[in-house]
Structure 1
Amino acid sequence: MPWIGMYIAAASAVCSLAMAADAFNGFRSKKLWFPCKYFALNATSLTLLAVTMKFTVDLTTKMVGLAKFSSLVLMSTAMSNSMTSLASMDNNELLLNLTALTILVFTIAGNVCIYYIQIDFSTWLLFEMIVVIVIIFLLLIILYCSSLVIPTAKRYIDSKYHEMHKIARVEGGDCRLTIDEMRIMIRRYWVMAETGSPQFVMARSVLSATSGLICLSMALTLVEAHIRLNMLYFMSYPLTKTNYKWSIMWILYIQSSGVVLGTIAPVSRWFFAFRFKISETGLKNLKDELKIERYWTLRLVEWRESLLHLRIRHHRCRKLLHDAKRLLLNICIGVQILVVLTSKLILLISAIYGNVILLSFHHIKILKRPDPRASDEGSDLNPYVLLLEGEGELPKKILTNICNEVDKLIQTGRRRQPMNLLKLLNMSKNFDGVIKFDDNKEVPSLHSQEPHNCWSLSVVTLASIATALPNISKHKFNESLSGVSEGLYFVKLIEKYMDGDGELTSIRNAADVVWVGVELYNKWHSRNESKLPKLYARAARTIRYS
Structure 2
Amino acid sequence: MGTPWQETFSQYKNQLETNCSSLPGGFLDFLQKLMNQSYLQNEFSKPMVWIGIYIAIASLLCILPMVADLLHGFKNKKLWFPCKHFTLNAASLTVIAVAMKLPMDLNNEMPSQVDQTVKLGSMSFMCTMMANLLPSLANMDSKELLTNIIALGVLVITLVVNICIQVVTGVVANYHLPNYYYYYFSYYNGSYSNFSYTIGKFNWIIAIFYVTMLLALLMIHACSALMILKSKKILDSKYKTGHQIALKDVDLQQPKVEKLREHVSNHWIMAETGCPQFMMVCSAASSASGVICVSSTILHFTFMISIIPHMTDYGSDYRWSEVVILITQSIGVILGTVAPLSRCFAFLSFKVSVKWIWNHIRVFKVESYCTQNLSDWKQGSIPMKLSSRRCKIVVQDIMVRILNFCIIIQKTIIVACKMIALIPVVFVIGFLCCFHFWKWLKVMFNASNSMLVDRHAQIQHNRDLSQYVLQLQDDMELAERTLKSIAKSVTLLIQKSEKHQPNYLMKLLEESSGFEGVGKYDLHHVPEEKYVDCWSLPVVTLTTIAISLPNIQNNKVDRLLRSVSEGLTYVKHVEETLNSSDKYAITQKAARLLWLEVEVYHKWLGNKLSNPSHQVTTTKEIVQWFSDTAKTMVTETGVKNKKVSDDSALDTLVSANSMYRITQTILVSYQSNIDQLSQENLFVQLSSRISHILAACLTNLPQVIAMKCHTSVIEKREESVQIAAQLLGETIQIMNALQDRELPSLKPDELPFIDKWRDCFMHPSP
TM-score for the superposition, normalised by structure 2: 0.64
Pairing 1:537–2:653 present: yes
Pairing 1:404–2:488 present: yes
Matching residue within 245, 250, 255 for 2:319: 245
* Distance (whole Å) between structure 2 residues aligned to residue 216 and residue 442 of structure 1: 74
Pairing 1:387–2:471 present: yes
Q: 1:194-245 deviations in whole A, cap 9, x for unaligned?
A: 2222222211122111111111111111122223556xxxx23774111111
Aligned-pair CA distance for 1:94: 2.0
Alpha carbons of 1:40 and 1:501: their partners in 2 closer, same or farther (altered >3 Å)? farther
Q: 1:386-423 deviations in whole A, cap 9, x for unaligned?
A: 11134611122222222222122222222110011112
Contact kept? 2:371, 2:410, Cα under 8 Å: yes
Matches within 5 A, 1:284-295: 284=358, 290-295=364-369
Q: Decide which moves more: 433-442 or 479-488.
A: 433-442
Contact kept? 1:443, 1:542, Cα under 8 Å: no
Give the equivalent residue in structure 2 for 1:6: 53
Contact kept? 2:350, 2:482, Cα under 8 Å: no
Contact kept? 2:66, 2:336, Cα under 8 Å: yes
Give the equivalent residue in structure 2 for 1:316: 390
Aligned-pair CA distance for 1:292: 2.5
Alpha carbons of 1:497 and 1:374: their partners in 2 closer, same or farther (altered >3 Å)? farther
Matches within 5 A, 1:449-464: 454-464=534-544
Contact kept? 2:504, 2:559, Cα under 8 Å: yes
Contact kept? 1:73, 1:222, Cα under 8 Å: yes
* Distance (whole Å) between structure 2 residues aligned to residue 521 and residue 502 of structure 1: 28
Alpha carbons of 1:181 and 1:114: their partners in 2 closer, same or farther (altered >3 Å)? same
* Distance (whole Å) between structure 1 residues aligned to residue 54 and residue 328 of structure 2: 12
Pairing 1:107–2:223 present: no
Contact kept? 1:6, 1:247, Cα under 8 Å: yes
Give the equivalent residue in structure 1 for 2:605: 525
* Distance (whole Å) between structure 1 residues aligned to residue 213 and residue 523 of structure 2: 67
Aligned-pair CA distance for 1:519: 1.3
* Distance (whole Å) between structure 2 residues aligned to residue 237 and residue 522 of structure 1: 62
Matching residue within 323, 327, 342 for 1:268: 342
* Distance (whole Å) between structure 2 residues aligned to residue 243 and residue 150 of structure 1: 45
Aligned-pair CA distance for 1:543: 0.5
Contact kept? 2:312, 2:320, Cα under 8 Å: no
Matching residue within 304, 318, 331 for 2:405: 331
Matches within 5 A, 1:422-433: 422-433=506-517
Pairing 1:71–2:128 present: no
Pairing 1:444–2:518 present: no
Alpha carbons of 1:485 and 1:174: their partners in 2 closer, same or farther (altered >3 Å)? closer
Secondary structure of the corresponding residue to residue 55 of structure 1: helix
Pairing 1:200–2:278 present: yes
Alpha carbons of 1:275 and 1:189: their partners in 2 closer, same or farther (altered >3 Å)? closer
Q: 1:120-158 deviations in whole A, cap 9, x for unaligned?
A: 322212111112112111111111221222222222222
Q: Decide which moves more: 422-431 or 519-528.
A: 519-528
* Distance (whole Å) between structure 2 residues aligned to residue 284 and residue 440 of structure 1: 74
Aligned-pair CA distance for 1:309: 3.5
* Distance (whole Å) between structure 2 residues aligned to residue 442 and residue 535 of structure 1: 20
Aligned-pair CA distance for 1:261: 0.7
Matching residue within 214, 228, 243 for 1:165: 243
Aligned-pair CA distance for 1:97: 2.0
* Distance (whole Å) between structure 2 residues aligned to residue 72 and residue 472 of structure 1: 69
* Distance (whole Å) between structure 1 residues aligned to residue 647 and residue 366 of structure 2: 59
Alpha carbons of 1:317 and 1:462: their partners in 2 closer, same or farther (altered >3 Å)? farther
Pairing 1:210–2:294 present: no
Aligned-pair CA distance for 1:36: 0.9
Contact kept? 1:41, 1:97, Cα under 8 Å: yes
Q: Decide which moves more: 476-485 or 426-435.
A: 426-435
Contact kept? 2:361, 2:418, Cα under 8 Å: no
Q: 1:223-277 deviations in whole A, cap 9, x for unaligned?
A: 22223556xxxx2377411111111111112211211110100110102326846
* Distance (whole Å) between structure 2 residues aligned to residue 401 and residue 282 of structure 1: 21
Aligned-pair CA distance for 1:101: 1.3
* Distance (whole Å) between structure 2 residues aligned to residue 110 and residue 475 of structure 1: 71
Give the equivalent residue in structure 2 for 1:191: 269
Alpha carbons of 1:358 and 1:160: their partners in 2 closer, same or farther (altered >3 Å)? closer
Q: 1:466-491 deviations in whole A, cap 9, x for unaligned?
A: 44566543322222221222122223
Alpha carbons of 1:427 and 1:494: their partners in 2 closer, same or farther (altered >3 Å)? same
Q: 1:286-321 deviations in whole A, cap 9, x for unaligned?
A: 796753222222222222222233232222223322
Pairing 1:516–2:596 present: yes
Aligned-pair CA distance for 1:363: 2.8
Pairing 1:62–2:109 present: yes
Pairing 1:34–2:81 present: yes
Q: Which amino acid aligns with 1:131?
A: F
Secondary structure of the corresponding residue to residue 103 of structure 2: coil
Q: 1:154-199 deviations in whole A, cap 9, x for unaligned?
A: 2222222222112111123579766544333321121112222222
Contact kept? 1:210, 1:347, Cα under 8 Å: yes
Alpha carbons of 1:275 and 1:196: their partners in 2 closer, same or farther (altered >3 Å)? closer
Alpha carbons of 1:316 and 1:510: their partners in 2 closer, same or farther (altered >3 Å)? farther
* Distance (whole Å) between structure 1 residues aligned to residue 116 and residue 516 of structure 2: 78
Q: 1:487-525 deviations in whole A, cap 9, x for unaligned?
A: 222232344445788886555443322221121122333
* Distance (whole Å) between structure 2 residues aligned to residue 77 and residue 127 of structure 1: 19
Aligned-pair CA distance for 1:42: 1.8
Give the equivalent residue in structure 2 for 1:303: 377
Q: Which amino acid aligns with 2:244?
A: K
Aligned-pair CA distance for 1:536: 5.0
Secondary structure of the corresponding residue to residue 292 of structure 1: coil
Aligned-pair CA distance for 1:86: 1.3
TM-score for the superposition, normalised by structure 1: 0.88
Contact kept? 2:272, 2:278, Cα under 8 Å: yes
* Distance (whole Å) between structure 2 residues aligned to residue 469 and residue 266 of structure 1: 61
Alpha carbons of 1:184 and 1:141: their partners in 2 closer, same or farther (altered >3 Å)? same
Q: Which amino acid aligns with 1:522?
A: H
Secondary structure of the corresponding residue to residue 171 of structure 1: coil
Alpha carbons of 1:418 and 1:114: their partners in 2 closer, same or farther (altered >3 Å)? same
Pairing 1:344–2:428 present: no
Contact kept? 1:202, 1:208, Cα under 8 Å: yes
Q: Decide which moves more: 345-354 or 403-412.
A: 345-354
Pairing 1:420–2:515 present: no
* Distance (whole Å) between structure 1 residues aligned to residue 98 and residue 426 of structure 2: 41
Aligned-pair CA distance for 1:73: 0.7
Structure 1 residue ranges without an equivalent (≥5):
none
Aligned-pair CA distance for 1:67: 0.9
Aligned length: 536
Aligned-pair CA distance for 1:34: 0.4
Aligned-pair CA distance for 1:443: 6.3
Matches within 5 A, 1:76-95: 76-95=127-146
* Distance (whole Å) between structure 2 residues aligned to residue 503 and residue 391 of structure 1: 50
* Distance (whole Å) between structure 2 residues aligned to residue 48 and residue 16 of structure 1: 11
* Distance (whole Å) between structure 1 residues aligned to residue 354 and residue 567 of structure 2: 49
Q: Decide which moves more: 152-161 or 123-132.
A: 152-161
Identity rate, percent: 37
RMSD: 3.1
* Distance (whole Å) between structure 1 residues aligned to residue 524 and residue 267 of structure 2: 38
